[in-house]
Chain A
Amino acid sequence: MRIFRSDIVSYLVAILLIVWVVFPLYYIVMLSLQPSRLAFSWPPAWLFVPTLDNYISVLLKSNFILQFRSSITVATGNTLLSLAIAIPSAYGLSRFPYRGKENISFWIMSARMAPPIGLAVPFVILVRMFNGFDNPLTLIALYLLPNLPIVVWMMKSFIDDISVDLDNAALVDGCSRWGALRSICLPLALPGILVTSLFNFIMSINEFVLAFVFMGRDWSTATVGLTGYITPQGELWGPMAATGTLIMLPVLVFALIVRKHLVRGFLFGTVKG
């Protein structure tokens, strides 16, 4: 293959882009491994003997473990609930020609249009009515509003990939539509269901605003806990960086597992890549 000068330029630009994307991630992990006396040094200490002190202090002396457990509880509960609700509807949207399908789509999407902080304004009354402050069930339910629209369209795009002929064969054999969904589509869509679940899980772990408003001492989540490090008295970069890294790592691992389908989620299934 002939190598053009423009190929070399492409690679140079690509390397710059990699540095631009990776540097903040690298820098935060580096800070989390730095001995605390080096945190504010000038020039920054690029080389040092890494230590786990910051992680030990975060895990033992802060509420991180409690808050992370809360994040996981809420994310798991919400993921199960939203998949259970979304799968039949995704099947329906994939297989049936509804009258007014455009309007249904727009309406489902519109659940995502209000800013979460604005949503919190009327929900203050509803949450108080049901005694839902500092209760993980509140977040499990509230996260349906931003997550469900994405999950429905993502699942629909996975079910679209399964041939209608298989459904029809099942129907000819005397299956009901629900039977076809259960015995044909569910097993074939399993990889899609897993990808969608992980996507929903990531979105729930990352959420901040609603958890910040509605959770209190016992069920505050890890993202809310992170903001607790910012005080007028000053900030401890080491533990902050360690907490940030601990929140980020599991999510990055999940994201790499579903990397081929991530864009599908962010774009509501309009792009399959």
Chain B
Amino acid sequence: MNWKQLADNPWLFLIPVIATLAVGTIPPTVLLAYETLVSWTLNRPWTQLPFVGLKNYVDVFSSQFTYLALATSGIFVLSSLAIELTLGLGVALLFHRMTQRRLPGVGILRTIFILPMVVAPVVVGLFWRIMYHPTSGVINYFLFSLGLPTQPFLGSTIEALPCIILAEVWEWTPLVVLTMVTGLSLLPQEPFEAAEIDGASSWVKFRELTYPLVRPLLFALLIIRTIDLLKWMDTIYIMTGGGPGTATETLAYHIYNVAFRAFHLDQGGVLTVIALVIAVVLANLFNKMMMRR
């Protein structure tokens, strides 16, 4: 084997990424495992930490706040996904129809829909925090003008989480819309024309033709959005700080509170392990579902 063949070995091209990600993920994972097995509050040097076995795991799994955070995350992730995907698909079908009818203006709509998802999440949180303000907020002004009772919004344990979900839906539904519009425009036209001749109803066409064809894309969106929603804390930090009480404390936010506000990095480590396991399991599961037909 000469030098040129050696230099052109395909694996050589992958080395930069593999090396970077290996350095960036393997040592932290080992350290994370170590941290969960010792007693560590931030003031001790990390080499002299007493080994405590599985105590941190027992502590985390016997704390009601862990389950509360998991439940909050569950509600947050499931509702956001359900709204984003259905609303996004609906709007995409509308845009697609407008494109097919050659109605002008779809290009402008698509450009406008790009805006929310590139704004920094903390800035989005800021918009909504200001608009939700209980006494001077513009949303309460609209409610008041319509003769409806004003709401405490982020100050209420019941309303705070739906308010955060709404901000999330505002920022990320456009991603679903733009993806599905592109996906729909790539569908073959013949089956739809045939169905038209057979006199199939719109619902039948959607169920039998559109849905099976866009299903892989929907699953790709499902995987990407689930992982992102599980990690989410930027807007929560600026809108509610996890409150009132623990009303908006998702798993990611709970990690922040435990590790960086109560300085229990050991228990924060255990919660991170939980978050990682959930993300990997769900990603694998959706991947399998996507492959199976």
Q: Which residues of A contact B (CB under 8 A)?
A: 1, 7, 10-11, 13-14, 17-18, 20-22, 24-25, 27-28, 31, 39-44, 84-86, 88-89, 91-93, 95-96, 98, 104, 106-126, 128, 141, 144-145, 148, 152, 176-178, 202, 205-206, 208-209, 212-213, 223, 226-227, 230, 237, 240-241, 244, 247-248, 251-252, 254-256, 259, 262-263, 266-268, 270-273
Contact = CB atoms under 8 A, between A and B. Distances in A.
Interface stretch (B77-85, B157-165, B189-197, B252-260): B252-260
A248 B20 CA distance: 30
A259 B275 CA distance: 33
Contacts of A111: 21, 24-25
Interface string B205-249: 000000000000100110010010011011001100000000000
A49 to B, nearest CB: 20
B220 A270 contact: yes
A208 B121 CA distance: 8
Q: Is the interface of B mostly helix, strand, loop or mixed?
A: helix
Contacts of A89: 13-18
Nearest to B228: A112
Interface string B98-139: 100111010001111111111111111011111100011010
Contacts of B188: none
B127 A24 contact: yes
B141 A122 contact: no
A85 B20 contact: yes
Contacts of A270: 217, 220
Contacts of B42: 124
A166 B21 CA distance: 31
A108 to B, nearest CB: 6
B177 to A, nearest CB: 9
Contact of B4 (A152, A176, A267): A176
A17 B127 contact: no
Contacts of B255: 115, 117-118, 121
A46 B259 CA distance: 44
Consensus secondary structure, chain A interface: helix
B131 A27 contact: yes
A109 to B, nearest CB: 8
A118 B25 contact: no
Interface of B: 4, 7-8, 10-18, 20-21, 24-25, 27-29, 31-32, 35, 42, 46, 91, 94, 97-98, 101-103, 105, 109-124, 126-131, 135-136, 138, 141, 145, 170, 174-175, 178-179, 181-183, 185, 217, 220-221, 224, 227, 230-231, 233-234, 237-238, 251-253, 255-256, 259-260, 265, 268-269, 271-272, 275-276, 279-280, 283, 287
B31 A248 contact: no
Contacts of A92: 10-14
Given A112-B227, A118-B271, A263-B179, A208 B122 contact: yes
Contacts, number: 271
Contacts of A256: 111, 114
A88 B16 contact: yes
A107 B293 CA distance: 24
Contacts of B233: 115, 117, 209
B268 to A, nearest CB: 5
A145 B29 CA distance: 13
A55 B260 CA distance: 33
A248 B256 CA distance: 26
Contacts of A31: 130
24 contacts: A21-B116, A24-B128, A25-B119, A25-B127, A41-B136, A86-B16, A93-B13, A104-B14, A111-B21, A113-B276, A114-B231, A120-B260, A122-B31, A202-B118, A205-B120, A206-B120, A206-B122, A209-B233, A248-B120, A251-B119, A252-B115, A255-B118, A256-B114, A271-B179
Contacts of A21: 112-113, 115-116, 170, 174
